[in-house]
Amino acid sequence: ETGVTQSPTHLIKTRGQQVTLRCSSQSGHNTVSWYQQALGQGPQFIFQYYREEENGRGNFPPRFSGLQFPNYSSELNVNALELDDSALYLCASSLNLGIREETQYFGPGTRLLVL
Amino acid sequence: SQQGEEDPQALSIQEGENATMNCSYKTSINNLQWYRQNSGRGLVHLILIRSNEREKHSGRLRVTLDTSKKSSSLLITASRAADTASYFCATGGGGQAGTALIFGKGTTLSVSS
């Protein structure tokens, strides 16, 4: 186990609704990254938070937003849900020492279904 | 967009055989990582190889990296049924700490007993 937890495990929403996904990072880690994985595809980077600031963003629209809290846990918010947002959402925590990249450890994911 | 491409897309072998998966990428990297994913669950980190390393071992896993060819391979020796999973390579951005991982589409490995 990686020590990274995500909630909820499964979620069903309808188009136009809003959703909040949560992630608790591994103890001692200061960076959280979020990924979207569509069925049969590799994970796609959404954004990353380092010390409560966004530290990079992938090719996702502004309706995907996030937060990182002082305890380094994080939220992913998606507004105005679309059918194509149905996917497995993964968060990963890591320790950014500012020198080099370290391993990212993934949580079990939240499976979102938009109807 | 995907940075890496794994090859083959699917691989079926018998228990005890070796499995080799390849990954090619496009831009310069700091490191390359391999992950395993069972049945759409979270990714399990297998091994990280840095751009100045050529080969790395971990148990039954052997990873090679050829930065001149922008390619990597993952070898699983003496495969077991429990190795059945999808395997992804992921590259870290060049020259900047704490950046995104860019994944390929993965190789689906099926090991039958």
**Per-residue pLDDT tens digits for B32-84:** 999 999 987 889 999 999 999 999 999 999 999 999 999 999 999 999 999 99
Best A64, A101, A111 residue to mutate vs chain B (most B CBs within 10 Å): A101
Given a cut of 80, is residue A99 above it in pLDDT?
no
Q: Find chain A residues with C-beta within 8 A of B40's C-beta.
A: 39, 88, 109, 111
**Dist. CA A42–CA B58, nearest whole Å:** 23
Quick check: A108 and B42 CB within 8 A? yes
Q: Phi-psi category of A30—alpha, beta or left, where left has phi over 0 and alpha has psi -120 to 50?
A: alpha
Q: What is the nearest CA distance from A77 to chain B, expressed in angstroms?
A: 19
Q: What is the dihedral of CA B60, A41, B33, A4, to 10 degrees?
A: -90
Quick check: A101 and B30 CB within 8 A? yes
CA A51 to chain centre: 15
- pLDDT band at B94; cut points 50, 70, 90: very low
Given a cut of 80, is residue A16 above it in pLDDT?
yes
Q: What is the pLDDT of residue B1?
A: 45
Q: Find chain B residues with C-beta within 8 A of A98's C-beta.
A: 97-98
Q: What is the nearest CA distance from A88 to chain B, expressed in angstroms?
A: 8
Determine contact, residues A4/A92, Cβ cutoff 8 Å: yes
Residue B45, strand partner residues: B35
Closest-CA residue of B relative to A56 is B99
Q: What is the nearest CA distance from A113 to chain B, expressed in angstroms?
A: 14
B41 touches chain A (CB under 8 A): yes
Position with higher pLDDT, A98 vs A93: A93
Q: What is the nearest CA distance from A33 to chain B, expressed in angstroms?
A: 7
